[in-house]
Amino acid sequence: MTTVRVKSDNVKYTDEAIESKYVYHSTRVTKTGDAVEVEPVDTTLRFRTERKVPRVGTMLVGWGGNNGTTVTAGILANKHGITWRTKTGVQKANYFGSITQSSTINLGLTRDLHETFVPLNSIVPMVSPNDLVIGGWDCSSMNLGDAMQRAGVLDVQLQNALYDHMKQLTPLPALFDLDFVAGNQEGRADNTIKAANKWEAVEKVRADIRHFKSTNQLDKVIVLWTANTERFCDHATGIHDTADNFIAAVKRNEAEISPSSLYALAAILEGSSYINGAPQNTICNGLVELARQNKVFIGGDDFKSGQTKMKSALVEFFVGAGIKPECIASYNHLGNNDGYNLSAPASSAPRKSPRVTSWMTWWRPTTFSSPLAKSPTIAS
């Protein structure tokens, strides 16, 4: 495997870490009427990357769903070297499509002016996906083998090859609040956390994280929301605005606190990173403040790995070429539970928000002279 070592006064290697200094060049813009003044700004950033790769576990919220079963199956297929036959021949598992495992970085030119590309995962120490310990929660008690078949994402022969591995995996009971998802989801919710109030529910999730970490002898746990898109939460002063207010609101069982926010709270209190993979507004100011206090990483407002990524790439190309797209339409060709949940207007609202195009309309004022009035229509 390729290894990269940087020879620079800005990078220091020790036995424990790689410490680097990076100067980020940006600009500050001041607008006065039609006059625009631009001032260069340099910000010095310092990074510290541990050289010892930790033992990492990932707990997926919605483990038995389409994303959860597919990523688990993909890792197991690679880990066990699974092969299967399709109409085009024998296929072997690989990590094509993975940014960390398959993408490369252009480091620069050699002395004879040849470009040098290296795998992204050779730049700094990274956990191999094959070494990830995966677990999680789901409101459906179905084992992951049956859930994989229910999702219908993978080729049937690959499903058959993986079924015995997948059926041994069963999700933990999950938080479930029908007020935040479509009513049609109630039928599959046979595996839910029983709690007298929201704070008790948070404590149960925290206990799950601790048990998962200790049982698997993990150094770090990442909690990842890959469940259904929730409706938008109405962020309110006195509830979502500060860390203390948010915790107090959970303890008094405020209704306008979503399950995804409760998972984020539990993760932060356990020192685990939390990634939000859906477009709902999970991460409020109170959670951000609490994460900073506990020095825990939180982030994300959508995976943006499928149709959303394609829309972004196409719209950026069109707008950059001076072309004005007026409507973006897509559909769920899998016909699975994701689309079923989105049949409820409140659940589909986050997906229809201009998360793909809003920044591009402001970026091209000559094309979109009135961004607020003439942004492209989003239809999913």
Give me 176's structure tokens: 């479930």
Question: Residue 372 — pLDDT band, cuts 50, 70, 90?
Answer: very low
Residue 191: helix, strand or coil by DSSP?
Answer: coil
Strand-pairing partners, residue 267, are: none
State the chain's mean pLDDT as an integer. Answer: 88
pLDDT at 362: 57
pLDDT tens figures, 143-189: 999 999 999 999 999 999 999 999 999 999 999 999 888 777 787 88
Give me 374's structure tokens: 């003439």
Q: Which residue has the higher pLDDT, 233 or 73?
A: 73
Q: How far apart are CA 222 and CA 227, in angstroms?
A: 15
**Amino acid code (one letter) for 271:** G
Q: What is the mean pLDDT of residues 185-203?
A: 92
Residue 355 has pLDDT above 60, yes or no: no
Residue 45: helix, strand or coil by DSSP?
Answer: strand
**Amino acid code (one letter) for 123:** I
Give me 192's structure tokens: 């839910």
Which 8-state DSSP code applies to residue 55?
Answer: P
- Helix or strand holding residue 70 (H, E): helix 66-79
Q: How far apart are CA 301 and CA 25, in angstroms?
A: 26
Q: How far apart are CA 219 and CA 110, in angstroms?
A: 39
Question: Residue 109 — pLDDT band, cuts 50, 70, 90?
Answer: very high
Q: How far apart are CA 256 and CA 249, in angstroms?
A: 9
Q: How far apart are CA 178 and CA 189, in angstroms?
A: 10
pLDDT at 373: 44
Kindly give, in sequence order, each residue whose CB lies less than 8 Å from that of residue 83, ignoring residues fewer than 6 positions away. 90, 91, 92, 93, 161
pLDDT at 353: 53
Which 8-state DSSP code applies to residue 36?
Answer: E
Q: Which residue has the higher pLDDT, 220 or 337?
A: 220
Residue with tokens 């404590």: 203
pLDDT at 364: 62
Q: How would you classify the pairing of strands 35-50 and 115-119? A: unpaired
Residue 347 has pLDDT above 80, yes or no: no
In whole angstroms, what separates CA 165 from the centre of its chain? 25
Q: How far apart are CA 284 and CA 279, in angstroms?
A: 13
Residue 256: helix, strand or coil by DSSP?
Answer: coil
pLDDT tens figures, 26-50: 999 999 998 999 999 999 999 999 9
Residue 338 has pLDDT above 90, yes or no: no
Q: How far apart are CA 347 and CA 187, in angstroms?
A: 17
Q: What is the mean pLDDT of residues 51-65?
A: 96
Percent of the chain with pLDDT over 90: 72
Give me 337's structure tokens: 């539970």
**Rg, the chain, Cα only:** 23
Q: What is the mean pLDDT of residues 80-95?
A: 95
Q: What is the mean pLDDT of residues 93-116?
A: 94
Q: Does domain 56-94+125-299 have CATH number 3.40.50.720?
A: yes
**pTM confidence score:** 0.85
Q: What is the mean pLDDT of residues 264-271?
A: 98
Question: Residue 106 — pLDDT band, cuts 50, 70, 90?
Answer: very high
Kindly give, in sequence order, each residue whose CB lies less than 8 Å from that of residue 122, ignoring residues fewer than 6 positions away. 1, 2, 3, 4
Domain boundary assignment for the chain: 11-50, 56-94+125-299
Q: What is the mean pLDDT of residues 253-268?
A: 96
